[in-house]
């Protein structure tokens, strides 16, 4: 009896393993998966089964942040309109999930992979498999580091995103004419495993550092280093609690907070929540990036000063052009061969242009262009 049971168990285990190896099993949700993300596998069995030489794998980091939903939807729609079949997967910000999704894409016969990585250093084995299978990899928005499997990079001009945030602050406070006047500033950026923070944060600092050096900008918390002001997973709640601490420790005596450099909207949202709960002084200038709906509402309500708009329709369109060229054996569009070295050499890139969004132009930029409807932005 015991031996029979053991054999049955072994058989079951072998079947599970071989199913997983074929990629036929459903993507299992890791424990950290939020309910909203369980079942976010957007591949239908028909799609995975129809690898007729035109299957494109699109790996997105998470559904938690609005922009990745838009990126995924835009790319899927545009790729399908161009005649491709799409295996679109979201990984709930869980690295092992993303690795196995990419492994399945390789096993299922995807001919091009488009990957927005959770952690740009953590996809090693999956990328090796793609390379061994001769599948080109397009790094999407975030650069995948230290892998020679990466063929192209489609993104926005990330340095310029930071520069625009820095310039906005300089102009809003008229720092060039500040004289002896000083302003208090605090900083927050995103996930340390996201190569983009090196461009967002360093780009902003390239504009702001001279004013810190001159003493025109003062950081009461002393937290000015990128690693210190980073936010795991770009999480709003982590941003909120860090700022609640900062406000309690350095501003509770009535010290005025004049400006917060936040690298993106999810962190800016956390800062705005902390300000709402723990700060009564004059509202500071607060930057952001992405024009997420909650943040555009905050801009309209005077709780965030600006966001940097990165039109995901443009990035998706450019990526689709890249995929199409790779599928047809022609040269993908690139406009930068200098900026993005992933540790194995320069990755040929296409950089889309980011645009500053404020109360002045959000209507034209976001509503008139059809990115959002009036109803999306209604409070
Ligand atoms: C993207 C930003 C986004 C952030 C958090 C970055 O890599 O470039 O647009 O706000 O990730 O998802």
pLDDT digit string (tens) for 221-230? Answer: 999 999 999 9
User: What's the whole-number average pLDDT of the chain?
Assistant: 89
In this prediction, residue 42 carries a pLDDT of 43
Lowest mean pLDDT among 33-47, 225-239, 266-280, 291-305: 33-47
Nearest of 99, 106, 97, 98 to residue 56 by alpha carbon = 106
Tokens 């545009």 locate to 78
Pocket lining: 141 vs ligand 1, CB cutoff 6 Å: yes
Q: Which of 264, 291, 311 for mutating ligand 1's site (highest number of atoms within 8 Å of CB)?
A: 264
Do residues 72 and 90 make contact, with C-beta atoms less than 8 angstroms apart? yes
Per-residue burial over 306-338, b = 16 or more CB atoms within 10 Å of its CB, e = otherwise: bbbbbbbbebbbbbbbbbbbbbeeeebebeeee
Could you count the other beta carbons within 10 Å of the beta carbon of residue 8? 10
Q: What is the pLDDT of residues 54-109, one digit of tens each?
A: 999 999 999 999 999 999 999 999 999 999 999 999 999 999 999 999 999 999 99
Higher pLDDT pick, 6 / 63: 63
Collapsing DSSP to helix, strand or coil, 183 comes out as strand
Pocket lining: 155 vs ligand 1, CB cutoff 6 Å: no
In this prediction, residue 379 carries a pLDDT of 77
In this prediction, residue 54 carries a pLDDT of 94
Do residues 160 and 172 make contact, with C-beta atoms less than 8 angstroms apart? no
Could you count the other beta carbons within 10 Å of the beta carbon of residue 274? 21
Q: Which of 289, 310, 312 for mutating ligand 1's site (highest number of atoms within 8 Å of CB)?
A: 289
- Whole-model pTM? 0.86
Do residues 110 and 51 make contact, with C-beta atoms less than 8 angstroms apart? yes
Distance (Å) from CA 65 to ligand 1 centroid: 9
Sign of CA dihedral 334, 337, 343, 345: positive
**pLDDT score of 53 more than 80:** no
Could you count the other beta carbons within 10 Å of the beta carbon of residue 57? 25
Arithmetic mean of pLDDT, 158-183? 98
CA distance 145 to 149: 10
Percent of the chain with pLDDT over 90: 85
Q: Which of 64, 67, 292, 311 for mutating ligand 1's site (highest number of atoms within 8 Å of CB)?
A: 67
pLDDT band at 14 (very low <50, low <70, confident <90, very high): very low
């Amino acid at each position: 009896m015991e031996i029979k049971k053991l054999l049955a168990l072994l058989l079951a285990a072998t079947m599970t393993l071989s199913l997983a190896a074929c990629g036929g099993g459903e993507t299992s949700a890791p424990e950290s998966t939020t309910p909203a993300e369980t079942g976010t596998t957007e591949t239908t069995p028909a799609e995975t089964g129809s690898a007729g030489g035109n299957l494109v794998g699109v790996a997105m980091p998470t559904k938690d942040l609005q922009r990745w939903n838009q990126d995924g939807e835009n790319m899927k729609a545009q790729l399908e309109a161009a005649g491709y079949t799409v295996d679109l997967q979201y990984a709930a910000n869980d690295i092992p999930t993303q690795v196995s999704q990419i492994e399945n894409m390789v096993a299922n016969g995807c001919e091009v992979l488009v990957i927005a990585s959770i952690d740009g250093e953590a996809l090693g084995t999956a990328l090796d498999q793609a390379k061994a299978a001769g599948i080109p990899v397009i790094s999407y928005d975030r650069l995948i580091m230290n892998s020679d499997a990466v063929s192209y990079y489609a993104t926005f001009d990330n340095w310029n995103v930071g520069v625009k945030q820095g310039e906005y602050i300089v102009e809003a406070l008229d720092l060039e004419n500040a004289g002896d006047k000083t302003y208090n500033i605090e900083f927050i950026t995103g996930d340390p495993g996201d190569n983009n923070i090196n461009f967002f944060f360093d780009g902003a600092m390239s504009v702001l550092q001279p004013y810190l050096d001159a003493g025109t900008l003062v950081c009461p918390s002393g937290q000015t280093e990128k690693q210190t002001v980073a936010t795991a997973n770009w999480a709003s709640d982590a941003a909120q609690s860090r700022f609640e601490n900062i406000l309690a420790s350095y501003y509770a005596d009535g010290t005025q907070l004049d400006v917060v450099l936040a690298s993106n909207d999810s962190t800016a949202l956390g800062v705005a929540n902390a300000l709402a709960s723990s700060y009564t002084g004059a509202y500071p200038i607060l930057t952001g990036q992405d024009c997420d709906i909650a943040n555009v509402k905050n801009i309209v309500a005077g709780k965030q000063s600006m966001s940097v708009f990165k039109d995901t329709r443009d990035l998706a369109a450019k990526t689709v052009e890249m995929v199409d060229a790779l599928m047809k054996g022609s040269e993908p569009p690139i406009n930068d061969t200098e900026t993005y070295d992933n540790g194995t050499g320069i990755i040929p890139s296409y950089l889309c242009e980011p645009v500053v969004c404020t109360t002045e132009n959000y209507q034209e930029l976001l509503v008139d262009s059809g990115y959002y409807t009036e109803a999306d932005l209604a409070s």
